[in-house]
Structure 1
């Protein structure tokens, strides 16, 4: 049994990760979010600790993770992600934690090729600045990290994905949130895998100039 901290626990992918961990493991969870009442359904679960706090509160983050084994961050968009993630890194150093898994975005390393890469940069270029800064500071942090870079997200009720790395480049244009959660849970429960790695996730056979709904 491990203890896992989920930062940004009210996010859609984070909630799927929480549900899967509770259903398929014996792990204990620390759910950290701005308004813990949003996850009040877990208040009486003996395996769950709810913590209300800001991602910018380094001291509270450090206290909340004092006895956890893995820190998983599912913070919001990329505009201020580097600033938020720096607080998490500082808290992990303060608490003596090393294993960090976090959600990033496709394009965080200029790795998306062709017309789709150009389209992606045009649509979310403002956010990508923060994702790119975050990738750099995490890589230089000394933590053992896994960066997860999903394609454009869907709510499809399916787990169907393939992985890519920065050498092979990015494939596909979309992937389900359920797929991202499934991969995150695999790394959380097998923390010796994908160490110091940046992993792209996409649904197979979704290559194109943009996601199917555009």
Structure 2
């Protein structure tokens, strides 16, 4: 059984991931969020722990990441300042597997007018810095670079790796969750 922590568990994409993992007998979920009352675990059929904490507080991260196998980060807003504390907590707890959701364009891989428009997003420098920090962390990481997200339920996506041109402009949260709902990821 893999111990998987979802940091930012009440976010829209993380709620979809929780829904996809709720019956996976190979997973013990830890849901990390600021206000535990905001999440209903009654329909989760796997072992689940709710950790009420603040992702800006090192002690909360240290405690929540203890005994985890996989750390999945789906926070919102400026993200670069979360990388070092999460990395520190992972190192302290001997956890090496990180999946971090950022966004498309962090490698200037989106061609054409859409790429120009996307590159003008005010949060792009922060996302690029977060990617740089993750890449230099020494962790076994996957950076998810989803396109602009939709709440539609369909699952349909393709993957690219750093250095390949990006395809598409919109992806569903269900597709993002589907990509990494396997506990082996």
TM tier relative to shorter chain = over 0.9
Instruction: Please give the alpha-carbon distance, in whole angstroms, between the structure 2 residues aligned to 1:180 and 1:34.
Output: 23
Unaligned runs of 5+ in 2: none
Contact 1:6–1:74, Cα closer than 8 Å, also in 2: yes
Specify every segment of 5 or more residues in structure 1 that has no aligned partner in the other structure, as ranges: 192-214
Would you say 1:174 and 2:170 are equivalent positions? yes
CA distance in 2, matches of 1:44, 1:112: 37
Provide Cα deviations, 1:4-31, integer angstroms capped at 9, x if missing partner: 0110000011011111111233311111
SS in 2 for 1:18: helix
The CA RMSD measured in Å over matched residues stands at 1.7
Greater relative contact order (CA < 8 Å, ≥ 6 in sequence): 2
State how far apart, in whole Å, the 1-side matches of 2:162 and 2:119 are: 17
Runs (4+) of structure 1 moved beyond 3 Å?
Answer: 40-46
1:109-164 C-alpha deviation (Å, 9 max, x unpaired): 11111111001122x2x111111000000000100000000011111110011111
* Counterpart residue number, 1:18: 18
Query: How far did 1:42 drift?
Result: 4.3
Contact 1:5 1:70 in 2 (8 A): yes
- Classify 1:98/1:110 alpha carbon distance in 2 versus 1 (closer, same or farther; 3 Å): same
- Aligned pair count? 185
Q: For the Cα contact (< 8 Å) 1:42–1:48, is it kept in 2?
A: no
2:65 and 2:7 map into 1 onto residues whose CA distance is: 10
Aligned equivalents of 1:72, 1:56: Cα separation in 2: 16
Question: SS of the residue aligned with 2:159?
Answer: strand
SS for the counterpart of 1:41 is coil
- Aligned partner (choices 71, 81, 84) of residue 83 of structure 1: 81
Query: Aligned match of 2:124 in 125, 128, 152?
Result: 128
Q: TM-score, normalised by structure 2?
A: 0.94
Q: Does 1:184 align with 2:180?
A: yes
Q: How does 1:59-138 map to 2 (within 5 A)?
A: 59-77=59-77, 79=78, 81-122=79-120, 124=121, 126-138=122-134
**For 1:79-115, what per-residue CA distance to the aligned partner results, in whole angstroms no more than 9, with x for missing partners?**
2x00012211111111111100010100111111111
Structure with bigger helix share is 1
Counterpart position of 1:200: none
1:6 is paired with a residue whose SS is strand
